[in-house]
Amino acid sequence: MLEDKLLILRLKRGCGEALERIYEKYRLYLLKIAAGLSDASIAEDVVHDVFVRLAKKAETLKASGSLKAYLRTCVINGVRNKVRNEKVRSYVELGRAGEIVSVQSGADHWVMLREQSVRLHEALKQIPFEQREVVVLHLHGDMRFREIAKLQQASTKTIQSRYRYGLDKLRSILNCEVQK
């Protein structure tokens, strides 16, 4: 959008106000995607790194590109790297979700999951990463299936299947919790 292009131009010229506007505009969006794909601490690190790189290397931004897509891609790549490096698969039973809320809402944490999101967050972590990525990027990242297909280097049909399977799995995880 034009506002983003203007912000990029201003940012490339070292405008602090532009950096602040970009930060305010996109940090929640990026944190939500990152938190949906991983856990809060990884999300914080990844998004923080993205903004630090933006502040340092604004001159490498292309004024013709989409700022939102650029930031989102940075976050997605960052999360993937972290998740693959750490091989984090935090399998937490839904019953322990209350603990996690209190840990994450400590004074030092940037991201705080809303209470009703904790269970969903834990359920998301129980589905395969590729499915989680498709679900989160489609429903929270505003990405279309063909864009996600390009990202995951798969066909659109595969992405749609991953999405469907992801939703089915989530539904059954959450239903099991209901039944408990």
59 vs 153 by CB, closer to another protein: 59
Using an 8 Å Cβ cutoff, are 24 and 32 in contact? no
40 vs 83 by CB, closer to another protein: 40
d(CA 79, CA 71): 12
Using an 8 Å Cβ cutoff, are 18 and 67 in contact? no
87 vs 106 by CB, closer to another protein: 106
Closest distance between another protein and the C-beta of residue 114, in Å?
5
Q: What are phi and psi of 173, to 5 degrees?
A: -65, -45
88 vs 174 by CB, closer to another protein: 174
Tell me the CA distances in angstroms from 3 to 18, 25, 127, one per residue in order. Answer: 10, 11, 37
Instruction: At 11, list the tokens.
Output: 């940012």
Closest distance between another protein and the C-beta of residue 155, in Å?
16
Closest distance between another protein and the C-beta of residue 105, in Å?
8
d(CA 55, CA 58): 6
Tell me the CA distances in angstroms from 45 to 48, 51, 112, one per residue in order. Answer: 5, 10, 14
45 vs 88 by CB, closer to another protein: 45
130 vs 177 by CB, closer to another protein: 177
Closest distance between another protein and the C-beta of residue 131, in Å?
12
Q: What are phi and psi of 16, to 5 degrees?
A: -70, -35
Give the closest residue to 122 by CA, choosing from 174, 66, 157, 163.
Answer: 174
What residues line the site for another protein (CB under 8 A)? 2, 5-6, 9-10, 12-14, 16-17, 19-20, 23-24, 27-28, 31-32, 35-36, 48, 51-52, 54-63, 65-66, 105, 107-114, 116-117, 120-121, 124, 135, 139-140, 167, 170-171, 174-175, 177-179
Closest distance between another protein and the C-beta of residue 62, in Å?
7
Closest distance between another protein and the C-beta of residue 96, in Å?
18
